[in-house]
Structure 1
Amino acid sequence: MLNFTAIDVETANSDRGSVCAVGLALVRDSQLVRTVEWHVRPPTGVDQFDARNVGIHGITPDMVRTAATWGESLEEISSLSEQHPLVAFNAAFDKSVVTKASALVGMEPLANPFHCALKLSRRLMTLDQYKLPLVASELGLAPFSHHNAGSDAGTCAKVVLALSEIHDLRTVDSLWVPASSSARSKTQPGPTAFSKANRAALADLPQPNPNADPNHPFFGRQVIITGDLESYSRWDAAEAIAHVGGVNGKGVTKKTAFLVVGDGRTHDRIALESGTTKERKAAAYIDAGQKIQVLTESEFIALAAAPIVQELRVSTTDFQSSEVTAEEPMSEKTGAENDGTWLHERELQAPLAEVSVPHLLPNSSPVPAALGDSPTTAVIADSPVETQVPKTEQLKRRVSYTPNENLRPRSKPKVSSSFVGWLLLFGVVAVVSYLLAR
């Protein structure tokens, strides 16, 4: 029988320790018996609320003023989960939040083993992307309130129970086994269940648009993606790259110019040497002198998804280099190393420091997530302005930027049409004269 506790946490900002909500779903004897959720006061020092996070989950500072501390929350989680394993959808994130928040308040993290329902879904299902709402829908589960901690935890538990029933895997140990294990059920698909982009041969990937602007940074250059993106399926991302003239690939090579790192990671949480196979390979090429620019998802969107970009400016000095740095921080931290002048971005959403939380919640209704399946919602300074752009339309639009005039190819000198006419007339007269003389 299945015994586990599904857990979901929300954070106030990009710091993993800034937990502001917890949801638990208790599964005992293969039955979902209880779902609970509560707000949390983030630990001191990481308790500021960023506009992007508030826009995703709708939790504001006022909502957590009298909430439980993380220390109290950790004790409650331990009591409710007992000795049973914890399960999260993208467990790497939730486990890191629990660990970081615990360290900030001087407590030991939970000793319960963590299992990942996202990895389980990837192994047992064949989808183009594996976001929780899509996985739940594919399994026939009821709609739920995404980014509500209790609702997400409950749906995570239901996903595990559904996959357990479909594949006749009745224990935690039988669900989370290595892909090569002999314990896999005969009805359980093997590790070939990947997305459309992963299954496609290199020649079948979206090909570069020959009519794309040659001044676009991706034009004619190989762009490789590692990890899951929140905003695109792998195939949609490949189409976006090709649309602006970029070259898709299956892995990092000597031709790679950009590596897009997904899984919600920002530059301060990317360590190529200890990352995915593609990241480690990129690190080796970089050490050997190759110029490969690492992009976060928000930086990739800024280049590939025009609707959320207002202006891009490319300088003449760094355009030929693969080294990309940012003039101003984007919605995610870009790190102190970004002191160059290659890219200047202005999003429709004002810098987070300039956006006050109340403006994000007009009439107390949470703003939809800017990077989810719903249309994009942009908030400019003091007044909420919604700009709704369907994702399919985003893929059709080209990135909007102001190219440096020095980068444009020089136009060829124009030849006067009258001169050409006289030249043709002279040729005709000469031919006629020659024929008459014979």
Structure 2
Amino acid sequence: MIPAHGAHLSVTETSIRIEQSALAAALTGQTVVTVPLAEVTGVRSTPPTLLDVGVVLLEGPGTTVTFAPGQDRAAADFVADVEAALRGEAPTASAGGVTGLSFVGFDVETANADVGSICQIGVVRVVDGVEVAAESWLCTPPPGLSEFQAANIAVHGITPEMVADQPGFAERLPALLEFIGDLPVIAHNAQFDMMALRRACLAAELPVPELTFGCSLVLSRAARLGLPDHRLPTVAAGLGVPLDRHHDATEDARAAAGIVVELARRSDHRGPFREMQEDAGFRTGTLSQDAVHPVLRQRPGLPTEPTQAPERKPARRAPWQSVATPDVIPDANPDADPTGPLFGQHVTLTGDFEPFDKGRLWSAIADMGAEIGRNVTRKTTILVAGTWATKTSKEKRAEELIAKGQELQIWTGEQLIAVLGLTEDGSEDEQPPF
């Protein structure tokens, strides 16, 4: 419902309901005033300011609604809902929505440790803060990534038999892109889902779509909700967002979308998702053929949407302590989340990752189930290139192996930091949930 001065308002396709406060009801003798929409010919408003009240006039019946100083957004929501109802459209704010907040919630489930082994896609379209459509697609993973591992099946319950007669990922992609359209995409730990989408497209030899995306995980952390962690079930429960079947792609997408809408309500946000993310201090992530640029905290002078890979800083040579290779390689954590983006990967670092030293990064990477390598070899699946004045020998070697057909990704340091869930001041949050 929409708050007004001494009343709460709701708009439907047939009527406008004004529930008066106890004091207002005592003065007028009416607890509820119902105005048939058919009698309303138009709406005029004088918005409230920080000092003066505002008034909305329902033309036709001549009913007036008063808004207290500072209730300008509530007045605008009421006018927008009445105008929408007069056009035959569903009111937004009265249904618990957020005017102008439109995006697509997104989630994928994978068959094995390779992030591109997508076997289920879930999407939820949100318009003005209200869910208007949802889809769920099972699919066979891209060629070469189709093996189902027991650990993944234990997480989401999807078996090879369940997808045997389903279209392949390549056949599902057009429907996914049509569903998304021009809207931004959000997911909980969106870096994982965007990396999965890009990897699946490359494995299927398809062009990678260009998308902008946001992250409900990043926004929930920034909101400082006082939760024990920021895993999807924890945040959903903390905000009162339903999550009936965790690790069903559509249910997870719906929960991520609900988190964003609830955070928007709590911050009194109105307008596009991009503005909400920027107001929280973050730039928009982007997916392209070349890379996945993560959602990161916005710094002065940094473009809101990166359109090309960030240039390496021609910085001073980093201190030896920050680039030296540690003596002890930590063992991969066998109990890590098998659907995480680093589980089962062979990772090598090169360059500077200030303020993090490589020993600390190695420990965080190994804890997510990855094998650490000192050098780039034929086992390497991910090389993370930190800042350096020139291209390192490890990066040159990785490019040679990629040219020879090896499945090897080159990440930026920013991508790794985002996946590990490390904050930019060098402190740790919790590892991202999947």
Taking structure 1 as the reference length, the TM-score comes to: 0.47
Structure exhibiting the larger radius of gyration computed from Cα positions: 1
If each structure's helix is expressed as a fraction of its own residues, which one has the higher value?
Answer: 1
User: Which structure would you say has the larger RCO, counting Cα contacts within 8 Å and 6 or more residues apart?
Assistant: 1
More strand by share: 2
